[in-house]
């Protein structure tokens, strides 16, 4: 299948699967332990049904949203994916370029293989993901670099208190120190385009950490240096300290409990991303979409509530917005795209999701994605909103 023939995110996944060696595809695709959480994330969307409203003027439709003082073209962005350059050399910058062209936010992974400064030049509206690490001096300097690069939003990821047990990765050979076995090399030989890229470029460096590591480390040793720093013990005091250090917008990624959302609000956090790390950490974790309504109820509109994990369709984005999310992030979808076709593949993934969301909004009679609400979900109260009822009342009055 050619890139231009891809009609869905799953089509891009299939193209990526053909190009990537098993060990790299498993890293991209897999989750923790039995991967039940991975399946539950997608199943959570499937159980919701949209309730369309007809006789609505949908001739003009708008997906734009304002978030932390910036306007984006659609209510979704690219979530961070660590070591993404393993699927294609330069993939971090390709995703950043695709996000900039699509006018969407790109979250630089804490395990990025492109530097903060490189990404900021390509996509100035990017955000930076931070994992709490052991070296306080390194943390402070990373924050300084983010600010100096002109990036205004810091995303602190809190759902990795320990390294998870990703059995699929262990079985396929994706374990530090990332030295391929004979079996991995033989299987990889069936994917010559990827192998050629790897032979030309080698294992990518985690560029953001080079300056903090001992001089002369190769890429493999640098990943070990990073793994010694992250995860680090962290608590609410850690987050409070980060809030004191960081003067820009602060988002906490990985919140799943309404009490934690309320506590983050008390600490002056600007937004949260309801997330279970794409099913890659705790296999028995609840799906973020199922956790979302209680969190929205707990904090209301006093902070920006966002969501990731499990999104594969534009209808998934619409469903999350109906349940109260202000914004969403997608990780695997653009990763499939960049694996399948570089920057153009990532753009293809974003355009598929954008077109599907536009179609859904038009089909259910919601011209502005900002107006998606529980009223568009089956099981919600049936009375029309004031905005929806107004055209009918005006028509009756005129009659």
Instruction: For 55-120, give the DSSP string.
Output: S---SS-B--EEETTEEESSSEEEPP-TTGGGTSTTHHHHHHHHHHHHT--BEE-TT-SS-HHHHH
Average pLDDT over residues 169-191: 86
Name the band, by pLDDT with cuts 50, 70 and 90, for residue 176.
confident
Question: 213-254: per-residue pLDDT in tens?
Answer: 999 999 999 999 999 999 999 999 999 999 999 999 999 999
Give the span between the Cα atoms of 185 and 199, in whole angstroms: 12
Longest Cα–Cα distance in the chain: 81
For tokens 């593949």, what's the residue?
345
**Residue 211: DSSP 8-state:** G
Exposed e or buried b per residue across 148-173, where buried means at least 16 C-beta atoms within 10 angstroms of its C-beta: ebebbbbbbbbbbeeebebbbbeebb
For tokens 């937004």, what's the residue?
271
Mean pLDDT over the full length of the chain: 94
- φ/ψ (deg, to 5) at 398: -70, -25
Give the span between the Cα atoms of 219 and 198, in whole angstroms: 13
Pick the CATH number of 3-376 from 3.40.50.720, 2.40.50.140, 3.20.20.70, 3.40.50.300: 3.20.20.70
Average pLDDT over residues 304-327: 98
Name the band, by pLDDT with cuts 50, 70 and 90, for residue 181.
confident
Give the span between the Cα atoms of 348 and 1, in whole angstroms: 14
Give the span between the Cα atoms of 370 and 364, in whole angstroms: 14
Residue positions counted in the chain: 399
Is residue 48 among the annotated active site residues?
A: no
For tokens 């009609």, what's the residue?
7
Q: Which residues contact 372 (CB under 8 A, 6 or more apart)?
A: 318, 321, 322, 361, 366
Average pLDDT over residues 300-304: 95
- φ/ψ (deg, to 5) at 174: -85, 75
The residue that leads in pLDDT, 123 or 174, is: 123
C-alpha closest to that of 385 among 327, 322, 336, 297: 322
Both tokens assigned to 339: 């694996």
Per-residue model confidence (pLDDT) at position 311 = 98
C-alpha closest to that of 155 among 94, 78, 73, 211: 78
- Residues 130, 191, 234, 277: which is the catalytic one? 277
Both tokens assigned to 346: 């990532």
Judge whether 64 and 361 are in contact, CB under 8 Å: no
> Could you give the count of Cα atoms lying within 13 Å of 333 in the half-sphere of its Cβ?
31
Both tokens assigned to 397: 């009055």
Question: 94-108: per-residue pLDDT in tens?
Answer: 999 999 999 999 999
Q: Angle formed by the axes of helices 332-364 and 9-19, to 10°?
A: 170
């Amino acid at each position: 299948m050619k890139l231009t023939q891809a009609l869905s995110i799953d089509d891009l996944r299939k193209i990526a699967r053909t190009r990537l060696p098993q060990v790299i595809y498993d890293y991209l695709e897999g989750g923790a332990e039995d991967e039940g959480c991975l399946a539950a994330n997608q199943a959570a969307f499937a159980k919701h049904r949209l309730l369309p409203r007809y006789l609505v003027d949908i001739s003009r439709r708008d997906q734009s949203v304002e978030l932390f003082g910036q306007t984006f073209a659609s209510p979704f962005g690219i979530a961070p994916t660590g070591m993404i350059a393993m699927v294609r050399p330069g993939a971090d910058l390709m995703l950043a370029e695709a996000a900039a062209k699509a006018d969407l936010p790109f979250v630089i992974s804490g395990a990025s293989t492109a530097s903060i400064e490189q990404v900021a030049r390509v996509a100035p509206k990017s955000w930076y993901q931070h994992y709490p690490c052991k070296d306080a001096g390194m943390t402070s300097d990373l924050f300084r670099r983010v600010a100096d690069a002109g990036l205004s939003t810091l995303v602190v990821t809190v759902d990795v208190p320990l390294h998870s047990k990703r059995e699929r990765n262990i079985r396929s050979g994706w374990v530090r120190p990332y030295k391929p076995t004979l079996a991995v090399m033989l299987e990889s030989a069936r994917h010559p385009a990827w192998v050629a890229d790897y032979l030309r470029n080698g294992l990518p460096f985690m560029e953001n950490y080079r300056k903090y590591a001992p001089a002369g480390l190769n890429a493999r040793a640098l990943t070990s240096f990073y793994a010694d720093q992250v995860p680090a013990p962290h608590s609410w005091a850690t987050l409070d300290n980060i809030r004191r250090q960081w003067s820009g917008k602060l988002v906490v990624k990985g919140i799943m409990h309404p009490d934690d959302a309320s506590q983050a609000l008390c600490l002056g956090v600007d937004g949260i991303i309801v997330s279970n790390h794409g099913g890659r950490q705790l296999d028995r974790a609840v799906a973020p979409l199922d956790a979302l309504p209680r969190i929205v109820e707990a904090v209301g509109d006093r902070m920006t509530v966002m969501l990731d994990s499990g999104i594969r369709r534009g209808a998934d984005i619409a469903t999350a917005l109906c349940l109260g999310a202000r914004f969403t992030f997608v990780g695997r979808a653009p990763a499939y795209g960049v694996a399948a076709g570089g920057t153009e593949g990532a753009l293809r993934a974003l355009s598929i999701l954008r077109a599907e969301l536009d179609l859904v909004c038009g089909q259910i009679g919601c011209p502005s994605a900002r107006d998606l609400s529980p009223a568009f979900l089956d099981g919600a109260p049936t009375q029309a909103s004031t905005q929806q009822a107004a055209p009918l009342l005006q028509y009756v009055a005129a009659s």
